[in-house]
Structure 1
Amino acid sequence: MNSGTTITAGIDGSRASLDAADWAAREAGRRRLPLRLLHAGTRHRVLARVPDVDVPAGCTRSTLDRAAIQLSYAHPALKIVAGDTETPAVPALLAAAADSEILVVGSRGRTGHTAPAGFLAGSVALAVTAGATCPVVLVHAGERISTPGGTPPSAAPYRPVVLGLDLEHPADDLIGYAFDTAAVRSAPLIVVHAWTPPPLDDRAAAVPSPGGAHDPETGRRRALTGTLRPWRHKFPDTPVSERVVHGRPGDQLLTASTGAGLLIVGRRAAEGPGRAALAVIRQVTCPVVVVPHG
């Protein structure tokens, strides 16, 4: 996984991408990193430091210009660099991911008042999620913080961060990202491991317990505790809840993410998102992060 020097947000003019840029700006402020706004697939190339965006007299500001200026007003201490490229969106965003700590993209919002909660990931978002070398955050339209009484978003308490963890592949990149993300927010971390109990006459599918217990669920709980123990020591101020639940991972993660501020799932670096990751990408109501790992 990358250890980049910037946070990149893809801009295409849609409401989802503009809300994704707003999310990215807040994340860049938390992590004290610059924000890069990238508009791909355009004919005219512009590269400017904000707020000094150079727009000739009589010309209409582009979507990229407007987004950069609005974010510079909302986050005056944040360094923002805005640029566009003629390269198509997917290769441009994948190239940008190479030197980004996080890549943030919008995902198509569901249309119609009768549609169920959640959002649909477009082809660009899915392709970037499957190929990026850094964590990719998918943000749907409407994902902006509103606080009562005029409290600034930066002063609002953070909702929990949820991590979906496969104990057969407990990658350090994934776990480390989740703990770090919860820590920069001073938010609680909920770690969910979902599994389907084997038939009563099939003991071969049970995960052996580090403590020697014969009950497979007890073994999984102990395995989860053991896997997280060094990370708890590394992040002692982060409250952590461990959940071992029965059922399909996608369904259980959707349930666990209700009321969460962020859902984190992993994918193997040489592969696209798995079944559980695709399920939550398509239905989750909060931003979701897909973290590549070895």
Structure 2
Amino acid sequence: MSTTEPRITVGVDGSAGSTAAVAWAAKIASLRHLELRIVHGLQLTGLYYGGGLPGASAEALFDAIRADGERVVADARSLAASVDKDLVIGSELPNEPPVPMLIDESRHARLLVVGRTGTGGFTGMLVGGTAATVASHAHCPVAIVRGRHDSTAVPDSGPVVVGIDGSPNSEQALAIAFEEASLRGAPLVAVHAWNDITYEDTRGTARILTQPETLEEGEQRLLVERLAGWQEKYPDVEISRKLVRDRPRHVLLKESETAQLVVVGSHGRGGFTGMLLGSTSQALVQHAQCPVLVVRPERKK
């Protein structure tokens, strides 16, 4: 298969979170009839024969690391095949650290999938390490597979929830959310959260907006306008609209408790210029109770 063809890519490291990510990614690839690519970074670059180990010991260490990587990938392939025996599965064990490897892989993927936490190369994902960095810099949407109550019990029922704020990035998230809901046969909950306090600059200067009733009418109009036309394109998707006066991350985290997927843009209209991952998407990456799909802005070619 050409590297320019769409595919689902999942990063693995042998952890429980990684295993959940493989199973989830395999289901998505099966639904979309796409290839699943399994990648594991060996990260041998920093190990050298001159690093204090005798040549034979270093070679034995290299062999052990590669053997462990091959086992991790083989287990992931077996799990993916158990989800769909007809699934086309590819794999790679590049000699690279996880983050640059995954970002490079995202250039050729339709979706990049990672687990909520990990061991070895993916340690620290729970506090925003690998997952947040990859979601900030990837060239395609990134799914972080999270389960209920910080477990690997990943939900497969409930609605698809999408956060809408009127930014171009959230428009891309809305398009993907409708597609996901249609493929899964799930209802879609479109959430638009707003409040009457905004921050005008990077110094955190607060501005309290007057006439909240008038503001709410405008926010309601924004939500209706953003959803216009989508019901005609996806008549099979049942849509619920939620307009809430609260911070988006609070509302979406609550919605994640009963959702099977939350879709958000990497940053929205409230973000500061230059931010790669906004506060809402950052909070969901770390604390959501279901998988989170972070949509990156389309890059100009």
TM-score category by the smaller chain? 0.7 to 0.9
Gaps of 5+ in 2: 46-66, 119-124, 199-207, 269-273
Is the alpha carbon distance of 1:237 and 1:99 closer, same or farther for their aligned partners in structure 2, counting shifts above 3 Å? same
Instruction: Within 5 Å, give how 1:205-224 maps onto structure 2.
Output: 215-224=214-223
Alignment of 1:127 onto 2:163: no
Is the alpha carbon distance of 1:15 and 1:245 closer, same or farther for their aligned partners in structure 2, counting shifts above 3 Å? same
> Which whole-Å deviations, capped at 9, do the CAs of 1:68-110 have from their partners, x for residues lacking one?
123213320111112111011111101110110100001227x
Name the structure 1 match of 2:82. Answer: 73
Whether the 8 Å contact between 2:37 and 2:91 is mirrored in structure 1 is yes
Is the alpha carbon distance of 1:277 and 1:144 closer, same or farther for their aligned partners in structure 2, counting shifts above 3 Å? closer
Is the alpha carbon distance of 1:164 and 1:239 closer, same or farther for their aligned partners in structure 2, counting shifts above 3 Å? same
Whether the 8 Å contact between 2:249 and 2:280 is mirrored in structure 1 is yes
Please give the TM-score of this superposition, normalised by the length of structure 2: 0.75
Whether the 8 Å contact between 2:7 and 2:37 is mirrored in structure 1 is yes
Structure 1 CA distance for aligned equivalents of residues 72 and 169 of structure 2: 41
Name the structure 2 match of 1:62. Answer: 71
Structure 1 CA distance for aligned equivalents of residues 25 and 166 of structure 2: 30
Structure 2 CA distance for aligned equivalents of residues 256 and 291 of structure 1: 18
Gaps of 5+ in 1: 45-58, 110-118, 146-155, 207-213
User: 4+ runs of 1 displaced by more than 2 Å?
Assistant: 41-44, 119-122, 167-172, 201-204, 268-271
Structure 2 CA distance for aligned equivalents of residues 164 and 177 of structure 1: 12
Structure 2 CA distance for aligned equivalents of residues 185 and 238 of structure 1: 10
> Which whole-Å deviations, capped at 9, do the CAs of 1:7-59 have from their partners, x for residues lacking one?
00000111101110110000101111010000013559xxxxxxxxxxxxxx8
CA-based RMSD = 2.7
Identity among equivalent positions (%) equals 33
Question: SS state of the match for residue 126, structure 2?
Answer: coil
Question: SS state of the match for residue 229, structure 2?
Answer: helix
Higher helix share: 2
Instruction: Within 5 Å, give how 1:176-255 maps onto structure 2.
Output: 176-197=175-196, 202-203=209-210, 215-255=214-254
Whether the 8 Å contact between 2:135 and 2:294 is mirrored in structure 1 is yes
Please give the TM-score of this superposition, normalised by the length of structure 1: 0.77
Alignment of 1:142 onto 2:152: yes
Instruction: Within 5 Å, give how 1:1-294 maps onto structure 2.
Output: 5-43=6-44, 62-108=71-117, 120-140=126-146, 141-144=151-154, 158-169=157-168, 171-197=170-196, 202-203=209-210, 215-268=214-267, 271-294=275-298
Whether the 8 Å contact between 1:93 and 1:128 is mirrored in structure 2 is yes
Structure 2 CA distance for aligned equivalents of residues 34 and 258 of structure 1: 30
